[in-house]
Homo-oligomer: A and B are copies of this chain.
């Protein structure tokens, strides 16, 4: 048993902060035991680290990003999805057959995740089996948590990155066998890139693997108009885009994340809701690539679990604060667009999505309720407040909107203090 002391803030319920000023949080076996304004007598002997006036908040969770696109962040952000993939993404991703290159990039990526306080993430690697393992090794070494997927794609992509269907499935199965239970916090995830680049045979094979090994699934859905039209051409038999995944057993039979979901049809919304599929809301990416604004308020009301995502390198920043800001901004635009029917997202709602909302994909992660993994950031915001008494809630808002990674002075995952990874 150990304890931390400070100003503790988290969201148990959507949009509502739980605030414990100057309080104790006790951790047992890496999990939250409880929060106390005074330490009960029975815990008098517990070692407590006192963080004084600093903020203690849950670690941030990013549920959709592309590891090998890290060198591309900030580049090529004036193209739409399909030409952007051709010009920037695929040529970069081919390089990850080179493990020396992969190691250099992935180490920098993991350092940046650490810096930004992203304690857990759900990641697309590349098509390369060994490169994917390496990324999992690097994340594990750093002590962070992640689901990492070997990307599958066997059609409509350049030769240099197009897989043979059987080999794609074999490599995926190898990963599941080798790395399924290798690490405590870093696990594989089935990762068909998206329908346009995956044959039905490949999708069905991946569905079987996900059932056989009970492994979660991630992919992309309804990001961009051109993409959706392409899927309709490819699958005239399907009712809609989402049902192509469903037919392959890839839509919620195991825990599933679909990134984007900007332009869902009503039937697709029902399908995702019924199957409890997570949506990875990636507002920076959707704005940068001119995809549109996902109707998050509406999707929330439909009961769909939602998390936030950087989606680098469609997104230009790994900072989940940047993602929260843009999610708020586009929710304001959506409110206008909807004739003021779909209410904007408030700051505590955004914070929930980036912590407990995203964290739910990992289980009991993203909150400080009893039994949750103790993933946490300690925030020294003393340089952010200018000459003004502000509440703890406002201090957190200021950190989100005006802070930087340098305000994060300590990071915990499952109760373990995580030091800066070496690169």
Give the interface of A toward B (CB within 8 A): 70-75, 77-78, 92, 101, 104-105, 108, 284, 287-290, 292-293, 316-317, 325-326, 328-330, 332-333, 335-337, 344, 346-347, 384, 386-388, 390, 394, 397-402, 404
Contact A287 B387 (CB under 8 A): no
Contact of A70 among B333, B335, B386 (CB under 8 A): B386
Known: A74-B398, A75-B397, A329-B326. A386 touches B108 (CB 8 A): yes
Residue of B nearest to A384 (CB): B74
Contact A397 B74 (CB under 8 A): yes
Copies of this polypeptide in the complex? 2
In the complex, which residues of chain B have a beta carbon less than 8 angstroms from the beta carbon of A70? 386
In the bound assembly, the distance between CA atoms of A6 and B132 in angstroms comes to: 39
Known: A329-B288, A387-B101. A78 touches B346 (CB 8 A): yes
List 9 additional contacts besides A74-B384, A290-B336, A292-B333; criterion CB under 8 Å: A74-B398, A74-B401, A75-B390, A75-B394, A105-B387, A288-B329, A289-B332, A293-B333, A316-B402
Contact B288 A332 (CB under 8 A): yes
Contact B316 A388 (CB under 8 A): no
Contact A77 B347 (CB under 8 A): yes
The secondary structure that dominates the A interface is helix
Contact B290 A344 (CB under 8 A): yes
Residue of B nearest to A74 (CB): B401
Contact B397 A344 (CB under 8 A): no
Contact A387 B344 (CB under 8 A): no
In the bound assembly, the distance between CA atoms of A73 and B289 in angstroms comes to: 28
In the bound assembly, the distance between CA atoms of A290 and B101 in angstroms comes to: 44
Contact B104 A387 (CB under 8 A): yes
Contact of A74 among B292, B332, B400 (CB under 8 A): B400
Shortest distance from the beta carbon of A260 to any chain B beta carbon, whole Å? 14
Contact A287 B333 (CB under 8 A): yes
In the complex, which residues of chain B have a beta carbon less than 8 angstroms from the beta carbon of A328? 77-78, 288
Known: A292-B336, A346-B78. A71 touches B386 (CB 8 A): yes
In the complex, which residues of chain B have a beta carbon less than 8 angstroms from the beta carbon of A289? 332
In the complex, which residues of chain B have a beta carbon less than 8 angstroms from the beta carbon of A71? 386-388
Counting chain B CB atoms within 10 Å of each CB, the highest count among A78, A104, A386, A400 belongs to: A78
Contact A316 B401 (CB under 8 A): yes
Residue of B nearest to A329 (CB): B287
In the complex, which residues of chain B have a beta carbon less than 8 angstroms from the beta carbon of A404? 404
In the complex, which residues of chain B have a beta carbon less than 8 angstroms from the beta carbon of A72? 388
In the bound assembly, the distance between CA atoms of A394 and B329 in angstroms comes to: 27
Contact of A402 among B74, B101, B347, B399 (CB under 8 A): B74
In the complex, which residues of chain B have a beta carbon less than 8 angstroms from the beta carbon of A332? 287-290
- Interface CB pairs A-B, < 8 A, 6: A74-B400, A105-B386, A108-B386, A287-B330, A288-B329, A289-B332
Shortest distance from the beta carbon of A197 to any chain B beta carbon, whole Å? 24
In the bound assembly, the distance between CA atoms of A70 and B398 in angstroms comes to: 12
In the bound assembly, the distance between CA atoms of A292 and B337 in angstroms comes to: 9
In the complex, which residues of chain B have a beta carbon less than 8 angstroms from the beta carbon of A336? 290, 292
Residue of B nearest to A92 (CB): B388
In the complex, which residues of chain B have a beta carbon less than 8 angstroms from the beta carbon of A384? 74
In the complex, which residues of chain B have a beta carbon less than 8 angstroms from the beta carbon of A292? 333, 336
